[in-house]
């Protein structure tokens, strides 16, 4: 007997940014796997069981979820944001590929969500209005030399950059080094956005130049967006500053 | 008197993928500006008025919306997907920067949504599971030489690539040329996903190799995702093939 495994993205953390599709998937499941703080955002019924784990245990969590679904349960794996962006959907696929044949037979549904960079961008204006990329600064899973080469390549090519996992207790220096590399390639006046907890009550959106960008402003819940040389800033009296990337090259007024 | 301008993303087109925040913003507005087919997705009340325009008139639409909001109206500009990704939020910012001071005083709120690449990725597995980029193939607004250079740079750097605006009647050859360029840089076995109308009744998700990728499979409603050299394929008996990008370099089983 084979159950179902749904991998859900709940969005950036504001309940109004969770899709009805995600809520329906949560209502239909009986066992929930996820990082504790993401599970804490759910309102579960008495017949729904939660299995919380640490945020460094993604592959073990994926295996547990697949094992449970393969035994016939209705299982939900919960990510914040979108489950396909530096989150659980890839870990589930890794576990399926390496796992027993029964895991390939599980009915797998992935439910997309609003990922952090979109929520941060919306609060700041339209910094992702033209070509952009998303790069994880975590060097747990790839060599730092690869991250450096990618940062240089995308900044040189003129893409706006969204940095996920910018900093953690175990990775204290990476964001500062990333800014140093980007200052070698980009104008120091390039706008940088530190977006923390976008859409939540503790939201903080800070806009500064690349010259001023201070890694100490970021924490694990921050998405950092670095503009391209085309990205522009609009100041408004008594209203938040807007940052946007024009739709065209040389497209500012 | 100054009104309010909300720029809303309704998601990929499945109503279950529209956030409550977007629905609330739509309910609160009185005048709607947007590309006709996006406005057609809304269910409006008798006191709500729509102003449809062609999809090549983004800047004129932005100006009309700002003019109307500055006159005191509650205005909503509607994008599909996320308004910050190759959509109306950047056009609104461009118009504000170039426009009269009154437009800077408009209360501007941008509501994020699920952008096409996230919806397509969710249907295919987790192709955006590691570093990725989003590039528009439209050369209306930037020189083709810039697009070529960006494609080479990001493919060489190992990012997964999501292509927006892959093809149109006015741009028939660009996607084929993009595949030719990518075949010079990437293994011909690299997975390519053609995702059309993800989450809608007419959804079509086609997975093939870069060698097989045929531009004729794409239309204006297609998002094309090209894997990195790390991206992997899992075949499953009687179930759709999964495509995913491992969380780590060399991270497959």
Average pLDDT over residues B210-225: 95
Which CATH number describes the domain made up of B4-114? Answer: 3.40.1010.10
Q: Please, which pLDDT band fits residue B253 given cuts at 50, 70 and 90?
A: low
Taking an 8 Å cut-off on Cβ atoms, the answer to whether A237 and B142 are in contact is: no
Phi, psi for B53 (deg, rounded to 5): -145, 170
Look at residue A208 in the predicted model and tell me its pLDDT.
98
For residue A7, the Cα-to-chain-centroid distance in whole angstroms is 15
Taking an 8 Å cut-off on Cβ atoms, the answer to whether A126 and B119 are in contact is: no
Return the closest-CA partner of residue B100 out of B57, B70, B65, B61.
Answer: B70
Return the closest-CA partner of residue A226 out of A158, A174, A168, A148.
Answer: A158
Chain A residues closer than 8 Å to B163 by CB: none
pLDDT tops 90 at residue B16: yes
Taking an 8 Å cut-off on Cβ atoms, the answer to whether A133 and B131 are in contact is: yes
d(CA A96, CA A105): 9
Burial B203-213 (b: 16+ CB within 10 A, else e): bebbbeebeeb
| Residues of chain B numbered 150-209 and touching chain A (CB < 8 Å) | 150, 153-154, 156-159, 199
d(CA A136, CA A29): 30
For residue A103, the Cα-to-chain-centroid distance in whole angstroms is 26
Q: Are A160 and A96 in contact (CB under 8 A)?
A: no
Look at residue B2 in the predicted model and tell me its pLDDT.
74
CATH topology of domain A117-244: 3.30.950
Look at residue A139 in the predicted model and tell me its pLDDT.
82
Distance from CA of B69 to the nearest CA of A (A): 16
Percent of chain A with pLDDT over 90: 89
Distance from CA of B79 to the nearest CA of A (A): 13
Q: Residue ranges of chain A with pLDDT lower than 70? A: 1, 250-253
d(CA B57, CA B23): 25
Across the interface, of A90, A104, A251, the residue whose CB is closest to B94 is: A251
A118: left (phi over 0), alpha (psi -120 to 50) or beta: alpha
Cα separation values, B145 from B151, B175, B177, B181, Å:
10, 14, 11, 12
Tell me whether domains A4-114 and A117-244 share a fold: no
Q: Which two tokens stand for residue A90?
A: 């890839």
Burial A136-166 (b: 16+ CB within 10 A, else e): bbbbebbeeeebbebbbbbbebbbbbbbbbb
Chain B residues closer than 8 Å to A83 by CB: 122, 126
Look at residue B17 in the predicted model and tell me its pLDDT.
97
Count Cβ–Cβ pairs < 8 Å, chain A vs chain B: 262
First CA to last CA distance, chain A: 62
Taking an 8 Å cut-off on Cβ atoms, the answer to whether B89 and A132 are in contact is: no
> CA angle B149-B155-B158, nearest 5°?
140
Percent of chain B with pLDDT over 90: 89
Strands of the sheet containing B107-111, edge to edge, are B49-53, B31-35, B74-79, B4-9, B107-111
**Mean per-residue pLDDT of chain B:** 95
The secondary structure element, H or E, covering residue B147 is helix B144-157
Give residue-wise pLDDT tens across range A139-165.
888 899 999 999 999 999 999 999 999
d(CA B75, CA B63): 12
Average pLDDT over residues B161-180: 94
Q: Which two tokens stand for residue B19?
A: 């956030």
Look at residue B1 in the predicted model and tell me its pLDDT.
61
Residue A74 forms contact with B (CB below 8 Å): no
Domains of chain A, by residue range, sit at 4-114, 117-244
d(CA A81, CA A65): 19
Average pLDDT over residues B129-143: 93
Q: Are B181 and B152 in contact (CB under 8 A)?
A: yes
pLDDT tops 70 at residue B64: yes
Residue A230 forms contact with B (CB below 8 Å): no
Look at residue A250 in the predicted model and tell me its pLDDT.
67
Chain A residues closer than 8 Å to B17 by CB: 19-21, 112
Look at residue B28 in the predicted model and tell me its pLDDT.
97
**Which of A6, A27, A56, A133 should one mutate to test binding to chain B, selecting the residue with the greatest count of B CBs within 10 A?**
A133
């Amino acid at each position: 007997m084979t159950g179902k495994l749904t991998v859900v993205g709940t969005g950036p953390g504001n309940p109004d940014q969770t899709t009805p599709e995600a809520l329906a998937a949560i209502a239909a499941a009986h066992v929930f796997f996820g990082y504790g703080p993401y599970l804490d955002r759910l309102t579960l019924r008495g017949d729904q069981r939660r299995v919380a784990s640490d945020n460094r245990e993604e592959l073990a969590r994926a295996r547990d979820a697949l094992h449970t679904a393969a035994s016939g349960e209705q299982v939900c794996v919960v990510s914040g944001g979108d489950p396909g962006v530096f989150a659980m959907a890839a870990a589930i696929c890794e576990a399926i590929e390496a796992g027993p044949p029964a895991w390939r037979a599980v009915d797998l549904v992935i439910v997309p969500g609003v990922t952090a960079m979109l929520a941060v961008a919306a609060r700041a204006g339209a910094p992702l209005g033209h070509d952009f990329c998303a790069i994880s600064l975590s060097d747990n899973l790839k060599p730092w030399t690869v991250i450096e080469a990618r940062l240089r390549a995308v900044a040189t090519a003129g893409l706006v950059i969204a940095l996920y996992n910018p900093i953690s207790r175990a990775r204290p220096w990476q964001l500062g080094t990333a800014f140093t590399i980007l200052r070698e390639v980009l104008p120091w006046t390039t706008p940088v956005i530190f977006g923390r907890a976008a859409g939540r009550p503790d939201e903080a959106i800070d806009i500064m130049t690349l010259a001023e960008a201070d890694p100490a402003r970021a924490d694990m819940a921050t998405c950092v967006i670095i503009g391209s040389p085309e990205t522009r800033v609009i100041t408004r009296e008594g209203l938040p500053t807007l940052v946007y990337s024009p739709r065209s090259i040389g497209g500012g007024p």
